[in-house]
Chains A and B, each alone.
Chain A
Amino acid sequence: MGGTSPAKKEAIPELQKVKEVPVHRVSAEDMAKKQREISVSEFFAKNRHLLGFDSPRKALLTAVKEAVDNSLDACEEARILPEIEVRIEVAGGLKALETPKAEAKTEPGKPADPPKGPSVAQAERFIVTVTDNGPGIVPEQIGRIFAKLLYGSKFHRLRMSRGQQGIGISAAGLYGQLTTGKPVRVTSRFNEKKPARYVEITIDTAKNEPRVLANREATDWTAAHTGTRVAIELEGRYQKGRTSVDEFLEQTSVANPHAKIIYVNPEGQNTVFERMVAELPAAPREIKPHPYGIELGVLMKMLQDTKSHWVGGFLSSDFSRVSPATAVEICKKAGIDPKMLVRKIHGDTAEKLYKAIQHTPLMNPPTDCLSPIGEKAILAGLYKQIKGDFYTAVSRKPAVYRGNPFAIEVGLAFGTGQAGMVESVMAQEDAVPLAEGEEDEREGEVQMARVMRFANRVPLLYQPGACAITKSVIETSWRNYGLSQSRGALPTGPLVIFVHMASVWVPFTSESKEAVADYDEIRKEIRLAMNEAGRRLSAFVRKRERAALELKRRDVFEAYIEEVADACKRLKKGKLDSEDLKKRLSKIAKDITGGDKTDEILKKKGQEEEPAGESTIIITPEGAQGAVPQAPGAEAAHQAAPTAAEVAKEDQGAAQAAENKRSKAEKKEKGHGKGKR
């Protein structure tokens, strides 16, 4: 209520009215009638933004992202080299978009413009279809995996994977169902000897349970191998550029050079992101939680769930890095008998135990549970996708935040990819004289570095400002590495900064997994990795600059000698052999800048200085030097397209290798099938 007098006048009668109304008290029983469980599905149906479905454009991206993440996780767990096809179509086909207006405009004799371009941009409904060559899913599980929120294989394990909670793909299905009423369509084959199944499911939001609408033998699974195809129809918007599906898949391919990704966009354009590394990343191991990483509530839950009888046994068998001896030490500190029965521990005792754990020195958790991308693979990914003159990659050794192991990897791609060509290109351009106040645009172009963020190989496209990765990039002093950088901003220059965080549990700032939360340990690791990569970059940048400066020095003198000699000739009323003067001055210029020797030294030094270490690639006019990826497909991406035979051969080889592994793995994997997050 405002403090003005009219408001006060009105307020008084209202108050009186309230007093007159007989007070009806709502009893606890009444309230109980209204109190009921809220299903997670209902909750997310109303809070779709929490899962990344806040706008149509973002929804399309999130659906693709969840499906692709699932496919990659499943393939890797089953030790299959992933080959994934992502197809986005306008629902009802492009013809559905043709408007009568457009037809009317078509004049006879002129062919109608195909309804591409603008039509796709106007489309509001899409079908996202993602097909993989993974292990497939046993039919009984399909419903729960795709139409039950918080169901999956990953939440209960501490294991590095893209998904974590088991929400993603079912949320995408739920979003599709909410916006179009269409079910999720899944085709999956888990056994090569059996035909694939086709299942249509919706989610019962009140119960958070799948409802199967169709379940029959699939007729359109033509591939001989196992795999899964999921199709979701949803409301969305397709637009290229930043934070688009295109960017997501491009970055996914950079961080997953072992995967082949085929992408068909709504316009029907086909893009193939080739495989650059023919080996799967090491399988991450599952670990037990480290005591430092848990909270009191979690400890109490674990006390309830454990199979151990005694506290000592519980501590040493349910946690990593707690030996029986350490368990005894912890118990002593807590004033508990190690032989005390676990079920007798409650409240205060549990808290004492918790505090004792935090004050006992423990080894860091094992780090072999992580499967970093690796410097070689990062280089391969960057080299394939980003044009540059210099590439480097740094993989840090694993570190720990709050008991969770994690590893940071940084890659840099620098330059325009025109090394050696620059000069000739410049010379060809017409030198346009500049007017007063004009600046040379070639020099004036300021370009911010591009940061690619990844968590467990998944690109993070939204909320760069809230992310610990971006903050670490900004707080790194790039000036020390020969780049320019304004205060509190990204460095400028033709630079791509790749940062990957691998962890059994990536601390996201929200459920939609867009930004990495700020932990000192994480920031520190990123900074250290960036410093190392930056040092390598600076060696490269400085060397290029030195060479350019020396060249410029020569050029400057040469150009000015012309002017000076001509001016002298005019001053002397033409009575001067200016050509002779030019020659003499040029000779002096050469002597002063070190003469022919400098040329030689510069060149020689240049070659010696370019060791292009194990994790660096440098592009020179003579070609690429250093750790140039040797995997098939590398040539394909950078130079000519490979012949069809070559590609087929490679794919066959890879498929066969995977085949062998798979048949062994299959027996174990049955029943688990596809993971969920």
Chain B
Amino acid sequence: MAKESVEDRLIGLADVVVEAAKKKKDPEFQIPVRALSNVAFNEKRRIIEMKNATTGRSFFNLGMAKKFMQTMLVADALAELQRADCTTSLREIYYRTKHTLKESSENTFDDQSESDPVIEDLEVTLEALREELHVSAEGRGSIVGNITLVDNGDPIDCTRAGKAGHTVPSIVEDPGFTIKKCNADFVLLIEKSTQFNRLSEDKFWKKHNCILLTGNGQPPRGVRRLCRRIHDEWKKPVHVLVDNDPWGYYIYSVVKQGSINLAFESQRMAIPDAKFIGLSSFDPEKHKMPRNLGIKLKDNDITRAKELLAYPWFQKKEWQKEIKHMLASGLKYELDALANKDFRYLTTDYLPKKLKDKDFLD
């Protein structure tokens, strides 16, 4: 059964209000819960999936009234985008929906942190993808390597993208965006731009025939989706290179299985075959990095690491060993610490050895 158009789904919200008013009832939406309690790890598909717990958002409840009103305002703005057929940012939606209430100085939204979750609520409620809602996140991320893309009709050869690489747009869907050609052997997804720049400058991608991709921290949707498409459409393996700390592990797990907050998007974002290339908590010993290159784990690092240990998708023996080893050492290591040996240590020693030994975690 084909779904209704996004616009019709948005109009449906107005109908809920009108119908409730006719029946003299409190209008209410059911919004899927976006929390750990409402996700499950699908062992077979190896991705995080959303369960079907919902929470009611009703109008005539003092605690929810404002949120309800905000939801209607955002829905209105999203419908406007559909009709005008343009794409905008989260921030512009915030400004579009901000005004004071009649005869008061109260704002509909005080800052963007109020409107962003409402948009995510609507994504899950209407089962609409963000790009279907015509909302883009910041374009944050770069790509370089043996791949040719077509964006908005322009062919982009990523072997000629310079040191900085080509910026990954936030929406990388057909038909506006296609992957025309890919002759690389694998994708290396890098957490931080420092290492991306180093490898790009050293033309690591040329020597090892790969694609370098970074998202500057937790990769945004565009980067994750592009990575998934390369993996799906051109059958290229994906390796993830992150800092050796709990946040690095989590970045890897989001790429691999999807996130808790946006679990409904896992099926089109997650790359269950992605491999963790480093930095592993065993690497400092293998590469003879002295203790003083480490950073003491803070309380919140330890708490986070213990949370990871409990996640169903971190239950593999190797992963339990990996995380426990970090906890036992009491130290975390940044990728940057490799520079202690040599500025090019990452390019010339660390990665080639890892690739040669196939020293990956799954």
Which residues on A are within 8 Å of B, measured CB to CB? Answer: 431-434, 436-437, 440, 553, 556-557, 559-560, 562-565, 567-568, 570-572, 576, 581, 584-585, 587-589, 591-592
Contact = CB atoms under 8 A, between A and B. Distances in A.
Nearest to B78: A571
A564 B60 contact: no
A562 B102 contact: yes
A567 B68 contact: no
Nearest to A429: B105
A559 B18 contact: no
A433 B100 contact: yes
A553 B62 CA distance: 7
B75 A567 contact: yes
Given A437-B111, A564-B68, A576-B18, A559 B106 contact: yes
B103 interface: yes
Secondary structure at the A interface, as helix, strand, loop or mixed, is: helix
Contacts of B25: 588
Interface stretch (B9-17, B33-41, B235-243): B9-17
Contacts of A588: 21, 24-26, 60
B72 interface: yes
B107 interface: yes
Instruction: Give the one of A437, A553, A563, A565 with max B CB within 10 A.
Output: A563
B104 interface: yes
Given A556-B65, A560-B68, A568-B17, A584 B22 contact: yes
A560 B62 contact: no
B212 interface: no
A557 B60 contact: yes
Given A571-B10, A581-B17, A563 B62 contact: no
Contact of A436 (B14, B24, B69, B111): B111
27 contacts: A431-B105, A436-B110, A437-B111, A553-B62, A557-B60, A559-B102, A560-B68, A560-B69, A562-B102, A563-B73, A563-B108, A564-B17, A564-B59, A564-B68, A565-B17, A567-B14, A567-B69, A567-B73, A568-B14, A570-B79, A571-B10, A571-B13, A572-B11, A576-B14, A584-B22, A584-B24, A588-B25
Given A437-B111, A560-B59, A564-B69, 16 more contacts: A433-B100, A434-B100, A434-B105, A434-B107, A560-B69, A563-B69, A563-B72, A563-B101, A564-B59, A567-B72, A570-B76, A571-B10, A571-B79, A576-B14, A576-B18, A584-B22
B66 interface: yes
A592 B18 contact: no
Nearest to A427: B103
A581 B18 contact: yes
A591 B10 CA distance: 28
A143 B349 CA distance: 103
4 tightest Cβ-Cβ pairs between the two chains A and B: A571-B14, A584-B21, A568-B14, A567-B72
A556 B62 contact: yes
Interface string B193-216: 000000000000000000000000
A433 B296 CA distance: 47
Interface of B: 10-11, 13-14, 17-18, 21-22, 24-26, 59-60, 62, 65-66, 68-69, 72-73, 75-76, 79-80, 99-108, 110-111
A565 B102 CA distance: 13
Contact of A433 (B17, B62, B105): B105
Contacts of B79: 570-571
B14 A572 contact: yes
Contacts of B108: 563
B274 to A, nearest CB: 39
A591 B104 CA distance: 24
A401 B151 CA distance: 89
B232 to A, nearest CB: 36
Contacts of B13: 571
Nearest to B16: A568
B65 A568 contact: no
B218 to A, nearest CB: 25
A576 B13 CA distance: 14
B60 A434 contact: no
A555 to B, nearest CB: 8
Contacts of A591: 24
Contacts of A440: 105
A150 B75 CA distance: 84
Nearest to B20: A588
A589 B60 contact: yes
B18 to A, nearest CB: 6
A588 B22 CA distance: 10
A564 B72 CA distance: 6
B18 A568 contact: yes
A353 to B, nearest CB: 66
A564 B22 CA distance: 15
Instruction: Give the one of A437, A570, A592 with max B CB within 10 A.
Output: A570
Contacts of A592: 26, 60
Contacts of A434: 100, 105, 107, 110
Contacts of B26: 588, 592
B24 A557 contact: no
B231 to A, nearest CB: 39
B60 A433 contact: no
Instruction: Give the one of B10, B25, B107 with max A CB within 10 A.
Output: B107
A557 to B, nearest CB: 6
Contacts of A589: 60
A432 B111 CA distance: 17
A584 B103 CA distance: 21
A564 to B, nearest CB: 5
Instruction: Give the one of A433, A557, A567, A589 with max B CB within 10 A.
Output: A567
Contacts of A568: 14, 17-18, 72
B57 to A, nearest CB: 12
B350 to A, nearest CB: 45
B68 A432 contact: no
B68 to A, nearest CB: 7
A565 B17 CA distance: 8
Contact of A562 (B101, B107, B110): B101
B60 to A, nearest CB: 5
B72 A559 contact: no
Contacts of A581: 17-18, 21
A587 B104 contact: no
Contacts of A564: 17, 59, 68-69, 72
Contacts of B105: 431-434, 440
B272 to A, nearest CB: 39
B104 A559 contact: yes
A568 B27 CA distance: 12
A408 B65 CA distance: 49
A160 to B, nearest CB: 54
Contacts of A571: 10-11, 13-14, 72, 75-76, 79
Nearest to B112: A436
A113 to B, nearest CB: 42
Nearest to B69: A560
A673 to B, nearest CB: 65
B73 to A, nearest CB: 5
A567 B76 contact: yes
Contacts of B21: 581, 584-585, 588
B197 to A, nearest CB: 34
A560 B103 CA distance: 12
A436 B109 CA distance: 9
Contacts of B104: 431, 559
B17 to A, nearest CB: 5
